[in-house]
Structure 1
Amino acid sequence: MRFLGVLFLLALIGAARVWAAEAPNIADLITPDVSRLAMAEEGVPEDLFDRGTPRSAMEGYLRAARQGDFERASQYLDLRNLPQQIASIAPAKLAEDFYQVLDRTLWVDTESMSILPEGKSKDGLPAYRESIGRIETSAGRLTLLLQKVPREDGVFIWKVSNATVKKIPELAQEFAYGPIGQWFSTILPKISFLGVALWIWLLLASLVLTTWLIVWFPLWLLARLVLRADTEKVGVWRAFILKPLSLLLTLIILGQLVAIDSLGVSVAALLRAQTLWLFCWAWLLIHVIELAVVHYTAGLDDSNKTMKGALLRPLAATLKFIVVISIALMWLENLGFSPTTALAGLGIGGLAFALAAQKSIENMIGAVTLYVSSPVKVGQLCRFGSQIGTIEEIGLRATRVRTLDRSVVHIPNATFADMQLENISQRERISYRPTIHIDARYLPDNVTLETVLERARQSLAEQDCVAKEPLRVRLKAFEHHALVIDVLAYIETTDFDQYLMVAERLNLCMLNVFLSAGFRLATPMGVAE
């Protein structure tokens, strides 16, 4: 869900971009006196409503309309020389209807409008007119216009042309929101969020919620009937069906029933960016990754599940991160941003991160090597270097080993993977190899050494836990005052406690064979007898 939170944050940023496209100019943030002084120096007439240029006039109208101040917005309409039936309509009503027409038909790009008091000179229109944009109507294509008109004091300013104003009632009727929209817009406050009227947001939310509930309930019944077992796999499947799959079906149904353009150009711009669709696909792919992890680990035994689960968790998190980044880049491209800069930044940042995290990456690769080759597993006893211990955890950075002294050693995975590892737990039996030193100064006369060696071999062979092959008791070497007897046998067990018990019995047996024959065990040089 953290990844989806990131994607939702990016959605808000994109919505803010929609709002910012028509946000107030930086001049609105400057102290009015300073702003007017700067514009006067550039030849822009001083005006209470900032109607000195086409851009400032259109921005002023849109700003007032978004704030619901249609009395102020009417100051940007040229109300001269209108037909009687149009002149009888309240100016605030005309300003409100015009805003509705724009919201339904036209994305006003104020950045392309002139910032000069005389307007554009080569746009194919008279010098006193400026185009707001073109819309498609039932009567054909219509150009909405601004016009340079004289103020009461004779100073020329820019307003919405009276040729456009007289068409507002006709256009408002054609591009009305319908009975539901009109009812919503009447009972709700005339406020907007991110450039979109509140009632449109509520209408869109109610459509999505209603459709989702209609889709979700049958899926819930299906999940209750089919997925009854209380297991991790069933839980993940249930979450997949009731969450991303239900949202996907909701969007498919809404796409067939709801016309995007009917919700206004601001909402249509966000929907054409496929914000909800991309959010849904990101959510769906994240759940697919979780399903793959659960299905893979369900077929493993407990030891492998613990060991490989530690690797699958960060691997799944990495795949989810890649999904979110990819979806976010696609979404930014749909909004009109170029993802090239973001990718370049990610490349440079990734290089810097790789250099800084070189050791960590080495240890992660070491962890992958240990998991794939599996020289040792969690719970196994092994010899590493000069130490022996039991593997307790193979993490992403280090392997934790508990030694025979019951202390815990953490070894970086890159180092541990390069060590010579002896897996003691994987032996099928344990060797018994004592070395016996016979005192060469005290050899009995009544028995030969060869006879005693044969007795020792027979004693070993008579033991039930001793393997028949190999089994050796041989005179190995001569020392200064001792004969070296080498013994080799294998005890048929992997339990170390049982091995110690059997080895003790064999030691006593060997000791009895040599001492009963009259031989003595040698003492080290320099030790008094």
Structure 2
Amino acid sequence: MGRHHWRKIFSILFVLSIQCSVFSVTAADDINLKKVAEAEKRSEAITEAQGGLIMARDGETPLTALIAIGQAIEENDWQAAAEFVDLRYLPKGINPEDGPELLRKLVILWNKQNIIDLSQISDQPTGHLNDKLPSYRDLLGVLETNTGPVPVYMQHVPDGKGGKIWKISNATVAKIPELWDEYGYSPQIEALANFLPEFSAFHMENWQLLILSLSILFGWIGTGLISLAAISIAKHFEPKIAGLSRFCGRSLRWFLYLSLLQYAALALGLSVRARVWFDNSTLLYLANTILILGLVELYSAYKSKQLHDQDKSYSVALLRPMVAILKIVIVVVIALMWFESSGYNMATILTGLGVGSLAIALAAQKPLENVFGALTLYAARPIKPGDFCRFGATLGVVEEIGLRSTRIRKLDRTVVHIPNSVFSSQELENFSVIDRRRYKHDLRISLDTTKEQLQMLLMELRKLLLSHPRVLEVAQRARFLAIERDAFVVNVNAYIDTGDINEYFGIAEDLNFHLLNIMKELDIHIAPIGQNVVLNNAVPADLEVQQRAEQTIRQLIDEEALPFPNYSEDTRDKFKDSVAYPPIGSVTKPKDVLKSPEELEVENEIEAKS
């Protein structure tokens, strides 16, 4: 292809870029997607029915004349199609030999505003007799112009063989040049159409397909450049508005791109069959859907960051399914609006959706149970992401509560997905909401221990529990619980003022060390488990320790100060917080120890007063 040809193409495209903006895009108000689809379906049925019958002679009725014109046009035989155009008695300046070209222009003008519904065309030789027109004339439709409607007639005229035939009226043909000058294609468009190979698709001509393809390509590039500029600006606001760059790079770009294609397509002077997809703003509905969903995502990202900063992770987990549901509602509403603009009856659609929803609900019973289970978890809030819990035999940390299932990471780092319908309906144990930890031991004391030693042990244990700063007063006890055949059972029970398991282990460890010291000082031993026969030299008991225990108990009895069943209130107050914790010499200082909610509340009150 020579260089001058490319120069010619680019010059034509440059002119087209200017002229496309001034093309008339007048559309018939009463034509929509539904009517076009129904008319095409009826016309196809009539054409097939006529093809299966012994047909009347072409042109004997208005219907057969139009079918013959349509078949000739499909075969690109405009000369044959022009046989059904009345070229007699035309005004000066209109050459009858230009019949094929005149018909081609009429078809273009007609297709830009109308469609032919063959079910409305008479199949009688006499045509329609009740249309208030002369018996030799039938009305096909009208072309809307700035000066008023121009009727398009079929006319019963002599066929030159002694009979009559239905043709497009010469009165209509006489107005084609004038209509074409006002609403037809420019010479540049015609030159481009003639230059390109003959092809068509989607009811669009070759030049329309070319320009639309170029609009798709360069529109994507152009909106990409705009999107990059928007992203560079959005990055300055990203710390405050999370997700803004992503919104500009995706949602905003697609919105601009589809909107550009919508207006570009309407500027091409498309036929009704092609333009009906754009007249009802299909691309604009899609563009607005993407934009609205992008705005929802943007708000979701902004709100998620805000909730994370406020340490409200549970609300973030609740936000995700709510956003998903909102998106579904938006898509359904916009889809219904598009169907209504396309001519479909909204009541019929909603009725169909009602029946369909019932069928879907029955078919998707389990998924819906999971969704309602998720809503139950969000409303009741028995758990939240980050909680350590037990569900049946599953023990682990909750990572995410989705619409279908809850994800738990077990202690061995494997992941379990539990359906929400099951998760919300069975027993669940949440360890993360524990406000205090229980310290409990059943000490099995050797039967060699004397009564006085046991009494001293109980006294020291109670003193320990009262003295330790991290042991709560609730349910404190150290009791001689039972005498069994192999041991004395002493029960120690208390609550530690922490819910954190790691901190609890540290405090329990400290209590255990104190307990061992007490038992060592009192020469008390743990009874061996089971029954064993031990043959060895007898080890005499430490008589000094036993005598000291007896003297201490006797002295307390004489002074009426024996602390059984409990210490007096004054003594309890003296013991309170007298044990050093963390222990002396520990690397952990008091300021490093996690404080209970009660301690924090008291400290806050003191700071507020000061």
What one-letter code is carried by the residue in structure 1 that aligns with 2:143? Answer: I
Instruction: Tell me the residue number matched to 1:510.
Output: 515
Instruction: Tell me the residue number matched to 1:487.
Output: 492
How far apart are the structure 2 equivalents of 1:366 and 1:327?
28
- Please list, as runs of the form range in 1=range in 2, the aligned pairs for 1:29-428 lying within 5 A after superposition: 29=48, 35-37=52-54, 39=55, 45-47=56-58, 51-65=59-73, 68-83=76-91, 85-137=93-145, 140-203=148-211, 217=225, 220-228=228-236, 233-239=243-249, 242-247=252-257, 250=260, 254=263, 263-301=270-308, 312-313=319-320, 315-384=322-391, 388-401=395-408, 410-428=417-435
How far apart are the structure 1 equivalents of 2:307 and 2:462?
45
Q: Deviations over 1:286-318 (max 9, x none)?
A: 212221221122224399898766665555444
Secondary structure of the residue aligned to 1:141 is: strand
- Would the aligned equivalents of 1:77 and 1:161 in 2 still touch at CA under 8 Å? yes
What is the Cα deviation at residue 56 of structure 1?
3.4
Instruction: Tell me the residue number matched to 1:7.
Output: none
What is the Cα deviation at residue 280 of structure 1?
1.6
How far apart are the structure 1 equivalents of 2:460 and 2:499?
27
How far apart are the structure 1 equivalents of 2:504 and 2:146?
96
Instruction: Tell me the residue number matched to 2:590.
Output: none
Deviates more, 1:352-361 or 1:264-273: 264-273
- Would the aligned equivalents of 1:467 and 1:489 in 2 still touch at CA under 8 Å? yes
Q: How many residues align?
A: 498
How far apart are the structure 2 equivalents of 1:31 and 1:123?
24
What one-letter code is carried by the residue in structure 2 that aligns with 1:227? Answer: K
Secondary structure of the residue aligned to 1:431 is: strand
TM-score (norm 1): 0.77
Secondary structure of the residue aligned to 1:72 is: helix
- Would the aligned equivalents of 1:74 and 1:92 in 2 still touch at CA under 8 Å? yes
- Would the aligned equivalents of 1:260 and 1:271 in 2 still touch at CA under 8 Å? no
The verdict on how the C-alpha distance between 1:202 and 1:16 changes in structure 2, with shifts beyond 3 A counting, is farther
Instruction: Tell me the residue number matched to 1:25.
Output: 44
The verdict on how the C-alpha distance between 1:173 and 1:506 changes in structure 2, with shifts beyond 3 A counting, is closer
Identity of aligned residues (%): 33
The verdict on how the C-alpha distance between 1:332 and 1:69 changes in structure 2, with shifts beyond 3 A counting, is farther
How far apart are the structure 1 equivalents of 2:408 and 2:182?
77
How far apart are the structure 2 equivalents of 1:140 and 1:394?
65
The verdict on how the C-alpha distance between 1:275 and 1:462 changes in structure 2, with shifts beyond 3 A counting, is same
- Would the aligned equivalents of 1:474 and 1:485 in 2 still touch at CA under 8 Å? yes
Q: Cα RMSD between the aligned structures?
A: 4.1
What is the Cα deviation at residue 283 of structure 1?
1.6
- Please list, as runs of the form range in 1=range in 2, the aligned pairs for 1:408-487 lying within 5 A after superposition: 410-438=417-445, 442-444=448-450, 447=452, 449-460=454-465, 466-467=470-471, 469-470=473-474, 472-475=476-479, 477-479=481-483, 484-487=489-492
Q: Deviations over 1:139-192 (max 9, x none)?
A: 643321111234354454321122222332333233322344333333334443
How far apart are the structure 2 equivalents of 1:66 and 1:304?
69
How far apart are the structure 2 equivalents of 1:385 and 1:229?
47
- Would the aligned equivalents of 1:383 and 1:423 in 2 still touch at CA under 8 Å? yes
How far apart are the structure 2 equivalents of 1:265 and 1:462?
92
How far apart are the structure 1 equivalents of 2:235 and 2:275?
39
The verdict on how the C-alpha distance between 1:142 and 1:421 changes in structure 2, with shifts beyond 3 A counting, is closer
- Would the aligned equivalents of 1:260 and 1:268 in 2 still touch at CA under 8 Å? no
The verdict on how the C-alpha distance between 1:391 and 1:479 changes in structure 2, with shifts beyond 3 A counting, is farther
Instruction: Tell me the residue number matched to 2:578.
Output: none
What is the Cα deviation at residue 455 of structure 1?
1.5
Secondary structure of the residue aligned to 2:149 is: strand
What is the Cα deviation at residue 122 of structure 1?
0.5
The verdict on how the C-alpha distance between 1:318 and 1:268 changes in structure 2, with shifts beyond 3 A counting, is same
How far apart are the structure 2 equivalents of 1:54 and 1:398?
66
What one-letter code is carried by the residue in structure 2 that aligns with 1:76? Answer: F
- Would the aligned equivalents of 1:384 and 1:422 in 2 still touch at CA under 8 Å? yes
How far apart are the structure 1 equivalents of 2:394 and 2:268?
73
How far apart are the structure 2 equivalents of 1:265 and 1:307?
53
What is the Cα deviation at residue 403 of structure 1?
5.3
The verdict on how the C-alpha distance between 1:107 and 1:408 changes in structure 2, with shifts beyond 3 A counting, is closer
- Unaligned ranges ≥5, structure 1: 1-13, 40-44
The verdict on how the C-alpha distance between 1:166 and 1:413 changes in structure 2, with shifts beyond 3 A counting, is closer
The verdict on how the C-alpha distance between 1:443 and 1:139 changes in structure 2, with shifts beyond 3 A counting, is closer
- Would the aligned equivalents of 1:130 and 1:145 in 2 still touch at CA under 8 Å? yes
How far apart are the structure 1 equivalents of 2:90 and 2:394?
99
- Would the aligned equivalents of 2:406 and 2:423 in 1 still touch at CA under 8 Å? yes
Q: Deviations over 1:456-510 (max 9, x none)?
A: 234456667x436458343264456565433233446555456445535533543
Please tell me whether Structure 1 or Structure 2 has the larger radius of gyration of its CA atoms.
2
What one-letter code is carried by the residue in structure 2 that aligns with 1:97? Answer: K
How far apart are the structure 2 equivalents of 1:424 and 1:147?
90
Secondary structure of the residue aligned to 2:424 is: helix
How far apart are the structure 2 equivalents of 1:144 and 1:456?
111
